[in-house]
Chain A
Amino acid sequence: MTTSRDSSPPPLRSSDEQFRGRPDPSARRFEYVLGLADDALVSAQRMGWWISRAPELEEDVALANIGLDQLGQARSLLDHAGRIEGAGRDEDALAYLRDDRDFRNVWLVERPQTDFGVTMARLLVLAAYQSELYAALTRSTDPTLAAIAGKAVKEVAYHLDHASRWVVRLGDGTEESHARMQAALEAEWPFVEELFAPVDADLVAQGVAADPTAFREAALGTVRDVVVEATLELPDVPPAVGGGRHGLHTEHLGYLLAEMQHLHRSHPGATW
Chain B
Amino acid sequence: MVTPTLTNAWRVAASVPDPELPVVTIEDLGILRDVTEYEGARVHVQITPTYSACPAMETIRTDLIETLKDAGYVHVDVEFVLAPAWTTDWITEEGRAKLERHGIAPPAPRDGGPVDLTLSVRCPQCGSLDTHESSRFGSTACKALWVCRSCKEPFDRFKPL
A: residues with CB less than 8 A from B are: 58-59, 61-62, 64-66, 68-73, 75-76, 143-144, 146-148, 150-155, 157-158, 161-162
Contact = CB atoms under 8 A, between A and B. Distances in A.
B3 to A, nearest CB: 21
A151 B82 contact: yes
B44 to A, nearest CB: 18
Given A154-B161, A158-B136, A65 B141 contact: yes
Interface residues of B, number: 25
Contacts of A64: 137
A151 B52 contact: yes
Nearest to A70: B53
A58 B146 CA distance: 11
Interface of B: 49, 51-55, 81-87, 114-115, 134-139, 141, 145, 159, 161
A69 B115 contact: no
> Which residue among A64, A65, A144 has the maximum number of chain B CB atoms within 10 Å of its CB?
A65
A61 B134 CA distance: 11
Given A151-B49, A151-B82, A157-B115, A69 B145 contact: no
Contact of A147 (B54, B82, B114, B138): B82
B83 A62 contact: no
B83 A146 contact: yes
Given A147-B83, A151-B85, A76 B141 contact: no
Contacts of A59: 135
A161 B53 CA distance: 19
Given A71-B53, A158-B136, 13 more contacts: A58-B135, A58-B137, A65-B137, A72-B53, A148-B52, A150-B82, A150-B84, A150-B85, A151-B49, A151-B82, A154-B85, A155-B52, A157-B114
